[in-house]
Amino acid sequence: MTVLKLLSRTKLYWGLIAIFLIGVLGSPMSSKGNNIFLSYGNLLDVLRQVSTTGLIATGMTAVIITGGIDLSVGSLMAICSVVCAMLLTVPGVTPGVVLGVPTVGLVALCLGFVVTRFIFQNLAKSRAGADLLREIKLDGIRGLVTPAVVGVVLCCLSLWFLLPQIEPKFGVLGVLLVAPCVGLLFGALNGFIIVAGRLQPFIVTLAMMVTALGIARLTAGQNNAVLPVYTGSNATADFEILRSLVFGIIPMPGLFFLSAILIYGAVLRFTPFGRYVYAIGGNEEAARLSGIAAGRVKIATYAVSGLLAGIAAVLYVAQYRQGKPDAGAGLELDAIAAVVIGGTSLMGGRGSLTGTFCGVLIFGLLSNILQLHNINSNLQLVLKGMIIIGTVLVQERNAGDLLAYLRLPGGQSAHKETAAAKRPSQETPSLNLGGNKK
């Protein structure tokens, strides 16, 4: 029984190992007799290719754990790619500058205010020995004046850094600051509308997906379906660093992806914010009654999702040497599929970034295996869809129910076990809410 429990808990890793073994055993050989799938260059390409989807899936994981969904990340990546390409290649005041630079100033102002106020509140709580969930009222200096001053200073510093880059065109650090801030602003707007308007995340992010796509096209202009970026020609040569191998070992996009997984994973696992995310997904009303600022936490998760979409956009521009309004078309579906394959429940309250990392790798390795065997692209989509359904059935432990419904061997016992698990125990004592003694 212990072995079965262990296998059940590690089934995701066994799935990843199985996909990897299939790739190794079924790999074509090179002219020198080497296994192409196991070649260092091929495995690096897999990591490079999954990095963009992986960054978006990282932000999507926390959103889904809260019980939400973000359909706008593909369009947010598209608009950020357009802004990034325009800042790199077109000097002077452009639509990309008009959209990006004020956004950085606004984000810096808000972040400076929120972070400073958060620090003062936690210092006051620690000194008072108060419960972390309890709100502490700050005086005017610590609660308003000092946070506002810090926000204004950060805003001025960011503008001081960006404004001189407008005429000669932006560099690597400039676009790495502007594009993520644009994504963060749109993501935070998603969360704010969901919380303040009490609307379904599906509807809000669907509307944002369409809106961001329109803004991306307006920003690019009617005659610019694609904005080419050639490092050393129409863009700074330093931008090539985002395509390079770090120490000749790992591609730069992969480093961004792994860093995001590790940092955000640690935040969700070891900080109060992470515990709040899981609590909201488990029961939002109970979390709110216990004192958790559920609205702020949800806004933060959508803001981080947009931020990571902006970083993915910069890496997309570096890899494909272009920015375009439809750069992220369908990417939100790939990210959601990777998150669900990784074991995160769409109902919220359950999931991890470790699982998302495995889900992204499973998706990437599967695509690589199909490409190495020259499988028709349409057939690849069919196979991916079937694998997603099968994986979710296993993750949700509903495969036995399906087999029982189809009256296939092995389904009856599994169906009985599932029904027994769902049936309340007859030995469980009832709650005596009236307080009467028996």
C-beta of residue 147 within 8 angstroms of C-beta of residue 112 = yes
Cα–Cα dist 132/129, whole Å: 9
Distances (CA, A) of 316 to 189, 253, 324: 23, 9, 10
Q: Is 341 left (phi over 0), alpha (psi -120 to 50) or beta?
A: alpha
Residue 267: how many CA atoms within 13 Å on its side-chain side? Answer: 16
Which residue, among 25, 123, 62, has the nearest Cα to 273 in the 3D structure? Answer: 62
Q: Is the pTM value of this prediction over 0.85?
A: yes
Pairing state of beta strands 227-228 and 250-251?
unpaired
Residue 323's H or E segment, with its range, is strand 322-323
339, 57 contact by CB (below 8 A): yes
pLDDT at position 396 is 60
Count other C-beta atoms under 10 Å from residue 3's C-beta.
7
- Strand 245-246 to 322-323 pairing: unpaired
* Alpha helices for 271-397 (secondary structure H): 272-282, 284-289, 294-320, 331-341, 353-372, 377-395
371 vs 363: CA distance, rounded Å: 12
Give pLDDT, residue 37. 87
Distance of CA 19 to the CA centre of its chain: 23
The Cβ of residue 132 has, within 10 Å, a number of other Cβ atoms equal to 13
Question: Rounded to an integer, what distance in angstroms lies between the CA atom of residue 61 and that of residue 351?
Answer: 7
In 184-281 the beta strands, taken as DSSP E runs, fall at 227-228, 245-246, 250-251
Contact 402, 71 (CB under 8 A): no
Longest Cα separation, the chain: 86
Q: What is the DSSP letter of 222?
A: T
Integer Cα distance of 323 and 321 in angstroms: 7
What gap in Å lies between CA 350 and CA 340, rounded to an integer?
11
Which residues are CB-contacts of 225 (< 8 A; sequence separation ≥ 6)? 324, 325
Tell me how far apart the alpha carbons of residues 294 and 37 are, in angstroms, rounded to a whole number.
46
Structure confidence at residue 431 (pLDDT): 38
Query: What does each of the 438 residues of the chain score in pLDDT, given as a tens digit?
Result: 466 666 666 667 777 888 889 888 888 887 787 888 888 888 898 999 899 999 999 999 999 999 999 999 999 999 999 999 999 998 989 999 999 999 999 999 999 999 898 888 877 777 766 555 556 677 788 888 898 999 999 999 999 999 999 988 899 999 999 999 999 999 999 999 999 999 999 999 999 999 999 999 998 886 667 888 988 788 888 888 998 888 878 899 999 999 999 999 999 999 889 999 999 999 999 998 888 889 999 999 999 999 999 999 999 999 999 999 988 888 898 899 899 888 888 888 888 999 999 999 988 898 888 888 888 878 878 887 887 777 667 666 555 565 566 665 555 544 454 455 444 444 434 434 344 443
The answer to whether 99 and 182 are in contact (CB under 8 A) is yes
Say if CB 181 and CB 107 are below 8 A apart. yes
- Exposed, middle or buried: residue 95 (CB in 10 Å: 0-12, 13-18, 19+)? middle
CA angle 219, 220, 222 (to 5 degrees): 110
Both tokens of 60, joined, read 């999507």
